[in-house]
Amino acid sequence: MAPIVSGYLGLSGTPATVADTVAYAIAISILIMAFDYFFGWVERKTIAKIHKRHGPTYAGKYGILQNLADFVKLLSKENTVPKTADKLVFLITIPLMLSISIFLIFLLPFSPTLLETNIGLGLLVVFVLLSFMPLIIFANGFGSGNKFAAISAQRSVIMLLSYELPIIFVIAAVGALANGYNIAGIVNAQSKWWFIVLMPVGFVVFFIAMLAELERTPFDIREADSELIAGWLTDVSAPYYTLALFLDYTRMFLGSLLIAIIFLGGWSGPLLPPVVWLLLKAFIVSFFIMIIRATMVRMRIDRLLRFGWIWLLPLSLLNLILTYVVFIA
Amino acid sequence: MTTRINIGPVHPSTHGVLRLVAEIDGDTVVNLEPHIGFLHRGVEKLVETRMYMQSPPYMEKLDYIAPMSYDEAYVATVEKAMGVEVKERAMWVRTVLLELQRIASHLLWLGTMANDVGQFFTVFMWCFKDRDLVLRLLQEASGARMFYVNMRIGGLIRDLPPGFEDRAREVLDYLDKQVKTYADFLERNPIFMERMKGVGVMSKEMAVDLGVTGPVLRGSGISYDVRKDNPYYVYEKLNFQTQVRSEGDCFARYRVRMLELRESIRLVRDALAKMPAGDAIGMPVKLILPNAKNRIVSVSRELPRGECMMYMVADPQKPYRLAIRSPTFINLAALRHISRGCRTADIFAILGSLDVVMGDCDR
């Protein structure tokens, strides 16, 4: 990497060899795939238990292979592009979003010894790229030439207005508390107290805003299966829908990792290795998101906007001020 | 500038084959036009070509959520045409079965309604599971799970099986608890309340003008229930109240149905306790029945979805003409008027609160 770029990003850690980087990339990719697959199965089973039914049981032990079967089935289907769709936009958006999500997970260090990708402004880079997602969804929604997708695209932008600012204010408070946006630095700053204890208000705001960011119930307004059929995914056919499912779980993984890193002390924990701790915390967060999905009712878009501006934004500002007054001033 | 979107007939929450053409301005609904008739089977005409007791199976397929209620309404019409008295015990058994059918229907409504406002199938699954217990009771009493065809002229095809009362009481106790759980689960959720309260308001005058009936009418503050105001069978002797809410919004309609569930549970318990012994079996099913005495008859019944009126001009051995006033058809007509000005997402909440069954609407 050119020195000026690495200097700007504040690349820390020892310069890695190409072989190391490739090995790391492969390891993380496998981890993401495994976690997505496991999440998919756990979500099906969890929601089935809440529904008082069994969930998948036939494919493999406890239905663990059900997702694989679905995956193979979906991949064997024909990929269709609607006549009214803008072919390029329609086909590029989902892979693009998936690659951005995977790239963002690459940026997160998984343990104190895996700091190759730990860049100086890590958290800011993550959120800058993450806030592109609704815009890509917007492009997809309009590109697919379907009215339901177009409505979904509009909703996507309205949602962006309601939750993006609170996230930024919470991140500002985190940066102030950790003295920088370096992710390893944020985890190290939590060695005594986790940030969830230091700023509970910020955690609540961030968690709710993340639910909206990840399109999970009660903010699955863009997909809204009982209203918009599947929102921006209405015309997406099987192979791309598989990618969209992967995208969904990868984003959930990313979101849970972020919550675990920013508020739950990241990889810190006794006995177990740091990577296991981080994954465990991320898993617990995801589990909560699943339970919320099974028990909540979808919010209306205008109510979300109101909720965002009346509650989330002032609370995030309050959190920022409190953090400054109590811990810094 | 308005956008016209076409919702249905194939859509996750149009309750079968209803097509809605919505004109929306931003997120506000300017106009909403229901297009019906996808499930029209010409039952009213079909009945004219059949002998009297060949028709009940057709009647059951009209409202496939509460088949027995329709069956009973038709058989009661035929009984009236023939001037046949229903046996004393048969009246009680019919009342019990009709109320059980109402419970099953309302449970299914609750599940789909929760789905329509964006609940991910949780209440739906719970309700289906509980509805199955009621269906099992109905199966014990009639022999079938869905299309019962257990009404006969003057009675039923069979009496309640031994031990039915105890099993029914057990199920009812369980349901009483469950209904309370569901009400808590939904009503303690502020988002659910936000989605339901003040949405799709139908004023008293509007409800009367549109001619809606059943829980939709009672949700608008008018106390009209055929079971109370024009009682049939043994409803007079039973202890129950008409549930009325005055707000006229989705939540009022929801609440009326939830309270009706409890009232129906109470009704069945009461009826089971007071039920006299005796014979409940009706006339044997033969093609040729006694000739109809009355030329023009009409029977009005409170179905789970509202008032159903069957108007029949009777020939001696088959109906000359049968006209059905189906509750869904008229309740659905209100959709257009009450969803004007609401948000796009509210269309489905309102549709869910009207509890439509397209088979009943299209006939």
Which pLDDT score is estimated for A214?
85
Please report, for chain A, the start and end positions of each structural domain, with discontinuous segments joined by +.
3-15+82-328
Q: Cβ separation of B191 and A301 shorter than 8 Å?
A: no
Across A27-37, b (16+ Cβ under 10 Å) vs e yields: ebeeebeebbb
- How does pLDDT run across A196-211, given as a tens digit for each residue? 888 888 899 999 998 9
Q: What is the DSSP letter of A117?
A: T
Partner-chain residue, chosen from A147, A148, A217, that has the shortest CB–CB distance to B120: A217
φ/ψ of residue B25, rounded to 5: -115, 105
Cα separation, A158 vs B157, whole angstroms: 60
Which pLDDT score is estimated for B175?
92
Which pLDDT score is estimated for B8?
76
Q: Cβ separation of A226 and B117 shorter than 8 Å?
A: yes
Token look-up 């919320």 returns A292
User: pLDDT confidence of B107, banded at 50, 70, 90?
Assistant: very high
Cα separation, A161 vs B206, whole angstroms: 38
Mean pLDDT of chain B: 88
Which pLDDT score is estimated for A14?
52
- How does pLDDT run across A196-255, given as a tens digit for each residue? 888 888 899 999 998 988 888 888 887 877 788 888 888 888 888 888 888 889 998 999
Decide: A151 and A193 in contact? Cβ < 8 Å.
no
Cα B353 to Cα A153, A159, B117, B339: the distances in Å are 28, 27, 10, 12
Order across the sheet with B28-35: list the strands.
B3-7, B19-25, B28-35
Which pLDDT score is estimated for A9?
45
pLDDT at A67 over 80: yes
φ/ψ of residue B355, rounded to 5: 55, 70
A302 min Cα distance to partner chain B (Å): 9
Three-class secondary structure of residue B124 per DSSP: helix
Could you tell me which chain A residue has the CA closest to the CA of B344?
A: A227
- How does pLDDT run across B149-200, given as a tens digit for each residue? 888 888 888 888 888 889 999 999 999 999 999 999 988 988 888 888 888 8
Partner-chain residue, chosen from A53, A293, A302, that has the shortest CB–CB distance to B120: A293
Q: Cβ separation of B125 and A299 shorter than 8 Å?
A: no
Could you tell me which chain A residue has the CA closest to the CA of B187?
A: A297
A1 min Cα distance to partner chain B (Å): 47
Token look-up 């863009």 returns A222
B286 min Cα distance to partner chain A (Å): 45
Partner-chain residue, chosen from B13, B126, B186, that has the shortest CB–CB distance to A226: B13
Tokens at residue A209, please?
């805003």
User: pLDDT confidence of A4, banded at 50, 70, 90?
Assistant: very low
Decide: B200 and B349 in contact? Cβ < 8 Å.
yes
- CB contacts, 8 Å: A224 with chain B: 118, 345
Which of A251, A256, A259 is closest to A202 using CA atoms? A259
Q: Cβ separation of A226 and B343 shorter than 8 Å?
A: no
Q: Cβ separation of B186 and A224 shorter than 8 Å?
A: no
Q: What percentage of residues in chain B have a pLDDT greater than 90? A: 23
Decide: A209 and A307 in contact? Cβ < 8 Å.
no
Could you tell me which chain A residue has the CA closest to the CA of B11?
A: A229
From A35-39, A267-271, B22-26, B35-39, the region with the lowest mean pLDDT? A267-271
Complex ipTM value = 0.81
Cα separation, A302 vs B272, whole angstroms: 49
Q: Cβ separation of B189 and A296 shorter than 8 Å?
A: yes
B306 Cα distance to chain centroid:
6
Cα A154 to Cα A222, A240, B334: the distances in Å are 9, 22, 29
Mean pLDDT of B38-50: 89
Tokens at residue B22, please?
């919505």
Could you tell me which chain B residue has the CA closest to the CA of A293?
A: B120
- How does pLDDT run across B283-336, given as a tens digit for each residue? 877 767 777 788 899 999 999 988 999 999 988 888 899 999 989 999 988 888
Tokens at residue A194, please?
């986790």
- CB contacts, 8 Å: B119 with chain A: 296-298
Decide: A157 and A134 in contact? Cβ < 8 Å.
yes
Decide: A47 and A286 in contact? Cβ < 8 Å.
no
Which pLDDT score is estimated for B254?
92
Decide: A137 and A93 in contact? Cβ < 8 Å.
yes
Partner-chain residue, chosen from B12, B27, B119, that has the shortest CB–CB distance to A297: B119
Partner-chain residue, chosen from A51, A147, A150, that has the shortest CB–CB distance to B121: A51
pLDDT at A18 over 80: no
Cα separation, B64 vs B105, whole angstroms: 9
Domains of chain B: 3-362 (1.10.645.10)
- CB contacts, 8 Å: B3 with chain A: 147, 150
pLDDT at B63 over 50: yes
For residue A178, count other CB atoms closer than 10 A to its CB.
20
Per the DSSP assignment, residues forming a β-bridge with B28 are B25, B343
Across B70-85, b (16+ Cβ under 10 Å) vs e yields: bbbbbbbbbbbbbebe
The H or E element that residue B155 is part of is strand B155-156
Cα separation, B40 vs A263, whole angstroms: 58
- CB contacts, 8 Å: B114 with chain A: 297
- CB contacts, 8 Å: A148 with chain B: 5
Token look-up 């509750």 returns B327
For residue B174, count other CB atoms closer than 10 A to its CB.
12
Mean pLDDT of A113-130: 77
Token look-up 């409800």 returns B207
Order across the sheet with B306-314: list the strands.
B296-303, B306-314, B319-325
- CB contacts, 8 Å: A151 with chain B: 5, 24, 344
Please enumerate residues of B whose Cβ is less than 8 A from a Cβ of A: 3, 5-6, 11-13, 24, 27, 114-122, 125-126, 129, 185-186, 189, 191-192, 194-195, 343-348
